[in-house]
Amino acid sequence: MAVVYKCRGCNHVLYSFEKVGQDFYGVRTPSEISSIYGGKCPKCGKRLGSPSVDDVQIKLREKRSRSF
């Protein structure tokens, strides 16, 4: 299972968490990702907006994606 956050504007992958133990902090929340990038996409500059549950992409076997 992986958690991926993407920009809603350009689909740039802002953050992905592939496995437990990847880093000390574990899976980050959308608001944390937003604050890491100063609230906007580093690639296209689009504001990341207010995060919600729907902003989190959970990949299981199939490759689906959602953006925020």
Residues that bind Zn ion (CB under 5 A): 7, 9-10, 12, 41, 43-44, 46
Cα dist from 29 to 33, 45, 62, whole Å: 6, 20, 22
Residue among 43 and 59 whose Cβ is closer to Zn ion: 43
For residues 23 and 46, give the distance between their C-alpha atoms in angstroms, rounded to a whole number: 27
Amino acid 68 reads: F
Residue among 47 and 64 whose Cβ is closer to Zn ion: 47
- Report the nearest approach of Zn ion to the CB of residue 24 (Å): 27
- Report the nearest approach of Zn ion to the CB of residue 34 (Å): 12
- Report the nearest approach of Zn ion to the CB of residue 18 (Å): 21
Beta bridge partners of 13: 6
